[in-house]
Amino acid sequence: MSFFKVCNLSISFGGLAALNDVSFEVQKGQIFAIIGPNGAGKTTLFNCINGIYTPDEGEVFFKDQKINGLRPDRIARLGIARTFQNIELFNHMNTMENLMLGRHLHMKSNLFRGVGMWGPHSFAGQEEIAHRRKVEEIIDFLGLQSARNQPVGGLPYGTQKQIELGRALASEPEFLLLDEPCAGMNAEEKQDMIFWIKDIQDELGITILLIEHDMNMVMDISDHILAINFGGMITEGTPSDVQKHPEVLKAYLGEEDGEGSA
Amino acid sequence: MDMKRSYYEDVQLFTSGVVVFWFVALLLFLGLLPFLFKNYYVYVANYMAINVIVALGLNLLVGYTGQISLGHAGFFAIGAYGTVILMTLLRCPFLLALLAAALIAALFGFFLGLPALRLEGPYLAIATLGFGLTITQVIGRSEFFGGRQGLHTPELWVGPWHLTTDRDFYYLLIPITVMLTVAARNLIKTRVGRAFIAIREADIAAATMGVNLVFYKTLAFAVSAFYAGVGGGLYAFVLRFIEPEIFTLLMSIMFLAMVIVGGIGSIMGSIVGACLLSWMDLQLRNILSIPYLGDWLETLSQSYFSITGVSNIQYIVFGLILILIMLFEPLGILGIWLRTKRYWKTWPF
Ligand SMILES: Nc1ncnc2c1ncn2[C@@H]1O[C@H](COP(=O)(O)OP(=O)(O)O)[C@@H](O)[C@H]1O
Ligand SMILES: [Mg+2]
């Protein structure tokens, strides 16, 4: 059984190919990184996996089940969670509530049970207590105690990124997609994030698909790397292999036009 | 500290003894109100309570789920006509008829929610507006619904009690209103309500976390329509007579104004907005009978503002007040409320 596989994926917007015949396979337990300059199609790839976009061609398999064409919430239910490059939090909710939404799939209270929350012993009351306790563990893990009851819209950028990670973790995924989790963070926040990502792999056994621009970080924590540009695959392999590829060298090691050529 | 309790504190209604005190005090006041005020104010209270019910439901849709409806008078009409017809034709007891009519309204809400999946903002506003207008037209043209002549409500019996006065009706209406208020509040504190709010805040993120947008958007419409249906069924018995002309676009807009003036996405805002606008609506109807000022306003209205010659100055004053409120409190009355609450943290909602 393959854990996760993308086969010949293509999608274009108004005649412009954002992804062109992309194929790769992720092994269970890996941290698999996708690198490439801005506009390469990395986020578009995530959106295809998530069911936000429907690819023009190609297929996506999760544990041998074809998932492209399914609704995003169906895909989430299979155990795939993600974070967004441009933070997509529920701004007026506090941290606890944002993470509680991450528990949505695991909770059962329907309309009638919710309305009938008459006290801590009602079904919805019991469920709220149980799941808030679970979420509290994640809040502790990510050190978000001070943000617990704050509306997240007003929190610092780095904290918001952490909360997004927390929300994804709250859904207890098997496969986690992280879209530039360290972008815009300061050095200390970055260190924390790297630490957590490793912990998520080691302790929680979650497989991670990671988009990141910070080459040091990518080379440090990835098991496998895929480099793309202009929607096409450039190279794929272990960090040391990919690092040697001339186009990757050109794009990431010092040359001015690397980012600019996107 | 008992951990179990501390997690329930996040969602519980009564966070302290003081809150319980205020809640009981409010209930006591509501219970005694008919004895403290003269009958007209009981009628006013009934009118307010019905609007509170509708505003709560509309706020669940507009404020919490981030959708829009300009057709709530349609659901209100379905509730009113449904209740009366089920009672007269099928001899349903009142509460059963009310529930059934509200469920029919909810079903219509569900179907109106389907286009909401594809439409947003102004497009959805127009679709719901079309729905509201259609309902009134259909009712007005059908003999079954009494056509333009309207329908008289039957005698009101609830169990062994024959409700004849506004005061009798008040004691039926207030418990229903309190129940629906607490229900709405519980809803938004639990899983389904969180999904509603998540859709408003970031629908794509909500979907990728497992929220079925189709289901929850249509559910929000259905719940909202249910509230409007209950309100309509009760309103029929406040008026004791219903006709299609009551359920106009203006009524839909009025419901929306209650939510916006009170405060989008707030239970307390729904209540305050509904009470305030109900009050203004009733008072401004009398504006022309104020000595001197009324005469002057009538002349002004007829010579400058009216197209048909009918005086419409009350709507102009009404609109003016709304504009002023929104100018000074863009968050609605809720804005004032939030500031007060910072000093006074002991209210349940
Ligand atoms: N919804 C969309 N409509 C039109 N063009 C899009 C859309 N989404 C992505 N694109 C285009 O696809 C290309 C890849 O974008 P993206 O995947 O965001 O790049 P990356 O994440 O690698 O920086 C860009 O040229 C972008 O403009
Ligand atoms: Mg991107």
Question: Cα dihedral angle (B288, B292, B297, B302), rounded to 10 degrees?
Answer: 90
CA atoms within 13 A on the CB side of B210: 26
- CB neighbour class for B201 (10 Å; exposed up to 12, middle 13-18, buried from 19): buried
Q: What are phi and psi of B150, to 5 degrees?
A: 85, -175
pLDDT tens digits in sequence order for chain B, 349 residues long? 444 447 887 788 887 788 889 999 999 999 999 999 999 999 999 999 999 999 999 999 999 999 999 999 999 999 999 999 999 999 999 999 999 999 999 999 999 999 888 888 889 999 999 999 999 999 999 888 888 889 999 999 998 999 999 999 999 999 999 999 999 999 999 999 999 999 999 999 999 999 999 999 999 999 999 999 999 999 999 999 999 999 999 999 999 999 999 989 999 999 999 999 999 988 888 877 888 887 887 787 777 776 665 667 777 778 888 888 888 877 777 777 677 766 655 555 5
Closest Cβ opposite residue A124 in set B190, B201, B211: B190
Closest Cβ opposite residue B11 in set A104, A128, A171: A128
Cβ pair B273, B55 in contact under 8 A: yes
User: Please, which residues 147-186 of chain A have a Cβ atom closer than 8 Å to chain B?
Assistant: 167-168, 171
Kindly provide the ipTM of the predicted complex, given to two decimals.
Answer: 0.93
pLDDT tens digits in sequence order for chain A, 262 residues long? 899 999 999 999 998 999 999 999 999 999 999 999 999 999 999 999 999 999 999 999 999 999 999 999 999 999 999 999 999 999 999 999 999 999 999 999 999 999 998 888 899 999 999 999 999 999 999 999 999 999 999 999 999 999 999 999 999 999 999 999 999 899 999 999 999 999 999 999 999 999 998 888 999 999 999 999 999 999 999 999 998 888 888 877 654 444 433 3
Angle between helices B166-189 and B267-284 (to 10 degrees): 150
Check residue B9 and give its pLDDT: 79
CATH for B36-346 is: 1.10.3470
Which residue, among B2, B209, B266, would best test binding to A if mutated, counting the most A CBs under 10 Å from its CB? B209
For A93, B75, B92, B132, B328, the CA distances from B85, given in Å and listed in that order, are 43, 15, 9, 20, 45
Q: pLDDT tens for residues A94-107?
A: 999 999 999 999 99
Q: pLDDT tens for residues A121-175?
A: 899 999 999 999 999 999 999 999 999 999 999 999 999 999 999 999 999 999 9
By most ligand atoms within 8 Å of CB, the mutation choice from A9, A12, A13, A261 for ligand 1 is: A13
- Residue in B with minimal Cα distance to A170: B209
Q: Is the CB of A262 under 6 A from ligand 1?
A: no
The DSSP output letter for B62 is: I
Please give the angle made by the CA atoms of B84, B166 and B46, to the nearest 5 degrees: 80
A111 and B192 within 8 Å at the Cβ level: the answer is yes
Calpha distance A234→A250 (Å, rounded): 12
Cβ pair B62, B233 in contact under 8 A: no
Cβ pair B261, B276 in contact under 8 A: yes
Q: pLDDT tens for residues B102-139?
A: 999 999 999 999 988 888 888 999 999 999 999 999 99
Cβ pair A38, A259 in contact under 8 A: yes
Residue B20 Cα to ligand 1 middle (Å): 54
By most ligand atoms within 8 Å of CB, the mutation choice from A12, A34, A44, A226 for ligand 1 is: A44
- Asked if A101 is an interface residue toward chain B (Cβ–Cβ < 8 A), one would say yes
Cβ pair B233, B79 in contact under 8 A: yes
Check residue B342 and give its pLDDT: 64
A111 and B209 within 8 Å at the Cβ level: the answer is no
Helical residues (DSSP H) of chain B, grouped into ranges: 3-8, 17-36, 39-59, 72-90, 94-116, 121-141, 166-189, 191-208, 213-239, 249-262, 267-284, 293-300, 313-328, 333-343
Closest Cβ opposite residue B8 in set A51, A110, A128: A128
Please give the angle made by the CA atoms of B120, B123 and B127, to the nearest 5 degrees: 110
Q: In what order do the strands lie in the sheet with A4-13?
A: A16-26, A4-13, A57-62, A65-66
Q: Is the CB of A239 under 6 A from ligand 1?
A: no
Nearest in space to B202 (alpha carbons), one of A105, A149, A91: A91
User: Please, which residues 67-96 of chain A have a Cβ atom closer than 8 Å to chain B?
Assistant: 71-73, 75-77, 81-82, 84, 88-93, 96
B209 and A102 within 8 Å at the Cβ level: the answer is yes
B204 and A111 within 8 Å at the Cβ level: the answer is no
A114 and B198 within 8 Å at the Cβ level: the answer is no
| CA torsion through residues B268, B269, B270, B275, sign | positive
